[in-house]
Amino acid sequence: MARSPSGDSLIERVVRILEAFDPDTPALTIGELAARADLPSSTTSRLVEQLVAHGLLRRDDERRVRVGVRLWELASRASPTLALRQVAMPFMEDIQAVVGHHTQLGVLDGREVLFLERLSARGAVINLTKVAGRLPLHASSGGLVLLAHAPRPLREAVLAAPLRPFTPATVTDPETVRRLLADIRHQGHALCAGFIDPAATGIAVPVRDPLGRVMAALSVVVPNDPDAWTHIGVLRTAARGLERALRAPRAP
């Protein structure tokens, strides 16, 4: 495979270009894209033109570069998360009808929680979560549920790294997080008041696959008030329903 003078393969350079986009910056100029991908502008321009020709990227009316619909199409065809999202959606809608703020579904990806879906109501409490967005495992309710049930080497690796505080309430002491994870495994839920924003509380429960392994976290984000804990019951009920649906045979 062709490599650049720096030793990067063509695939590595393309991946760096695609990874430059995020929910907060969906459009970039060639210069911005080159800086984010750490590539020469000439290389970036050449690769972008090829990706645009295949529909993986596109140019908007201002000639800025955006992710193309073709990339979404290809990624969605055989996504391992697509079936989970489809089965979970009716249960998330039921939760949302009761809670009325935010309902979301997240899975473990590396050392972060990756959010597959989010339902929100108009006028709901602040929430930093975005579909296809990520948050650190230690800072979010869904992330803590996933971390609590993750393999021990991953837990220790996360706790050995710096834990970023979002607010004064974010737990960043490794030993305190370790005790919090033990409580989550024992109680079956995580309740994080003000961890991401002082006005919001995140609550999450695990979703288990047919073999009993935690495969996802079902969560809500509600106002940070003394009644936040009352939403735990509806989350648990929905998670049990989702687990039964995942065990049921589905038509091809």
The residue count for the chain: 252
Closest residue by Cα to residue 82 from 110, 117, 57, 109: 117
pLDDT in tens, 194-210: 999 999 999 999 999 99
Q: Tell me: the pLDDT tens digits for 100-152?
A: 999 999 999 999 999 999 999 999 999 999 888 899 999 999 999 999 999 99
Q: Domains in the chain, ordered, with CATH?
A: 10-75 (1.10.10.10), 79-247 (3.30.450.40)
The model's pLDDT over 9-56, given as tens digits with 9 standing for 90+, comes to 999 999 999 999 987 889 999 999 999 999 999 999 999 999 999 999
d(CA 229, CA 223): 11
Terminal-to-terminal C-alpha distance of the chain: 38
Query: β-strand 214-223 against 102-109: which pairing, if any?
Result: antiparallel
Which pLDDT tens digit goes with each residue over 158-197? 999 999 999 999 999 999 999 999 999 999 999 999 999 9
Torsional class of 176: left (φ above 0), alpha (ψ -120 to 50), beta (otherwise): alpha
Three-state secondary structure call for residue 66: strand
CB atoms near residue 53 (< 10 Å): 9
